[in-house]
Amino acid sequence: QSALTQPASVSGSPGQSITISCTGTSTDIGTYNYVSWYQQHPGRAPKLIISDVSNRPSGISYRFSGSKSGYTASLTISELQPEDEADYYCGSYSSSSTLAFGGGTKLTVL
Amino acid sequence: EVQLVESGGALIQPGESLRLSCAASGFNFKNYAMTWVRQAPGKGLEWVAAITGSGSSTYYADSVKGRFTISRDNSKNTQFLQMRSLRAEDTALYYCAKDYYDSSGYSWMVDSWGQGTFVTVS
């Protein structure tokens, strides 16, 4: 069982926006801003798309944005494109000095 | 360009040991913490262990604490994962990953990943 809770799947049509939630507790997301998001296409290594809750690393599209409220972090993808179809994982530092990942969310672009 | 190349994966029996290696290039290796993350077939990501740039601090997931040891050789730009008392549930693709920030600590975020090396315990 993952320490962080994500929906198993989300879907959207090209051009639309979707949001993926990642719920933790007071020992991780609720207290720390070491929240990151990763995109993983089938058969490929994960890719960092959001760091520090809401920062986009160099080269990451403006269509990806992150936020946090309370114990929940969110990833929003705007102007959905077919190539966005992938698995998405959130990650957060935990006060037990571990890195927790969410269980992953499969994004389907209809 | 950052490159991380894992090696050492194998098919082994329960209770045996195995050492994974990760050869790094394209960045100042000693300035970055390094991480191992694994992914069982068809499953999600699981953080395994991390080590700071100097090697002075290490961190482990509860599931591997006491069985796995992370280390690094900065003179060879290589990190290692020594795995002992392996179990069927350790079967996974093991990724080597680089810390996001250049610092003396660990940022708990990783930005570059290798392609992984597969460990099968059966």
- Residues contacting B65, CB < 8 A, separation 6+: none
- Per-residue pLDDT at B102: 86
Q: What is the mean pLDDT of residues B72-94?
A: 98
User: What pLDDT, on a 0 to 100 scale, did the predictor assign at position A2?
Assistant: 59
- Grouping H, G, I as helix, E, B as strand and the rest as coil, residue B90 is helix
The closest of A71, A92, A83, A89 to B107, measured between CA atoms, is A92
Which one of B35, B45, B94, B118 would you mutate to disrupt binding with A, by most A Cβ within 10 Å of its Cβ? B45
B16 has pLDDT over 60: yes
How is residue B46 annotated by DSSP?
E
Torsion of CA B19, B20, B23, B28, to 10 degrees: -90
Rounded average pLDDT per 10-residue block, chain A, 110 residues: 87 97 95 96 97 96 97 98 98 93 97
From chain B, the residues in CB contact with A73 under 8 A are none
Beta strands B45-51 and A35-40 are unpaired
Q: Identify all chain B residues contacting A36, using CB atoms and an 8 Å cutoff.
A: 100, 108-110
Distance CA A78, CA A71 (A): 23
